[in-house]
């Protein structure tokens, strides 16, 4: 048994919870209070609000899945800690791209950059997941439960497609971002089943 097994996962979970909680909350600071006082004055911030909702949901999905993945994990090592920080890095850029997209919702580049950050976050999640599975063995219940990970693969493919589509019609990209969110809103029962089996 290597020394690496001895890092407790509680502080990793607590730190990740803290960072995701802050990211999900500071986004609201970018919703600029309208100067007017009537209903019409809210209309200009509607795109910002809609991109806020989308980012809030995607961050909620990451927190949810991260929660499940770490719960299923038994062993943590230095590599996993850095893979986790790498994921948090890309998530930390979500407020920035959400803001740029919200203020320029009809433009290709903001739509593209939004997709880049989400693609990189998805890649970072796959790396984290792979390292955790590797640590637990190819035959572990966790590895079996994830199976082909079609959701993860489909998400990556959708984000890559969205990047190209952003320059044809950026609404296609936005539609794909929403579809990926819907895909993940269904909780990841694969890991829940593993937890059940182990009891």
Is 144 among the residues that bind a copy of itself (CB under 8 A)?
A: no
Nearest distance in Å: CB 8, a copy of itself: 7
Is 38 among the residues that bind a copy of itself (CB under 8 A)?
A: yes
Is 120 among the residues that bind a copy of itself (CB under 8 A)?
A: no
* Alpha carbon distance 132, 32 (integer Å): 40
* Alpha carbon distance 132, 26 (integer Å): 30
Is 17 among the residues that bind a copy of itself (CB under 8 A)?
A: yes
Nearest distance in Å: CB 48, a copy of itself: 10
Window of 28-36, 135-143, 156-164, 176-184 that interacts with a copy of itself by CB under 8 A = 28-36
Cβ(115)–Cβ(162) below 8 Å: yes
Indicate the residue among 45 and 143 with the shorter CB distance to a copy of itself: 45
Indicate the residue among 86 and 157 with the shorter CB distance to a copy of itself: 86
Is 50 among the residues that bind a copy of itself (CB under 8 A)?
A: no
Q: Which of 47, 50, 113, 143 binds a copy of itself (CB under 8 A)?
A: 113
Cβ(63)–Cβ(69) below 8 Å: no
Is 13 among the residues that bind a copy of itself (CB under 8 A)?
A: yes
137: left (phi over 0), alpha (psi -120 to 50) or beta: left
Cβ(75)–Cβ(136) below 8 Å: yes
Which residues does 196 contact at the CB level (< 8 Å), separation at least 6? none
Q: Which of residues 63-92 bind a copy of itself (CB under 8 A)?
A: 63-64, 67-68, 71, 78, 81-82, 85, 88-89, 92
Q: Where do contacts with a copy of itself occur on this chain (CB under 8 A)?
A: 3-4, 6-8, 11, 13-15, 17-26, 28-31, 33-34, 37-39, 41-42, 53, 56, 60, 63-64, 67-68, 71, 78, 81-82, 85, 88-89, 92-93, 95-96, 99-100, 103-104, 107-110, 113, 185, 187, 189, 192-193, 195-196, 199
């Amino acid at each position: 048994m290597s020394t690496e097994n001895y890092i407790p996962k509680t502080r990793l979970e607590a730190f990740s919870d803290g960072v995701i909680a802050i990211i999900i909350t500071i986004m609201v600071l970018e919703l600029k209070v309208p100067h007017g006082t009537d209903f019409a004055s809210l209309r200009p911030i509607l795109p910002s609000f809609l991109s806020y909702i989308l980012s809030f949901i995607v961050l909620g999905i990451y927190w949810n899945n991260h929660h499940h993945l770490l719960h299923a994990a038994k062993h943590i090592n230095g590599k996993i800690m850095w893979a986790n920080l790498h994921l948090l890095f890309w998530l930390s850029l979500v407020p920035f791209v959400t803001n740029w997209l919200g203020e320029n919702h009809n433009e290709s580049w903001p739509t593209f950059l939004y997709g880049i950050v989400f693609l990189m976050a998805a890649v970072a999640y796959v790396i984290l997941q792979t390292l955790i599975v590797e640590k637990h063995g190819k035959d572990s219940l966790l590895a079996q439960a994830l199976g082909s990970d079609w959701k993860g693969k489909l998400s990556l493919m959708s984000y890559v497609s969205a990047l190209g589509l952003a320059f044809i019609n950026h609404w296609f990209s936005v539609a794909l971002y929403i579809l990926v969110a819907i895909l993940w809103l269904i909780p990841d029962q694969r890991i829940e089943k593993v937890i059940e089996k182990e009891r």
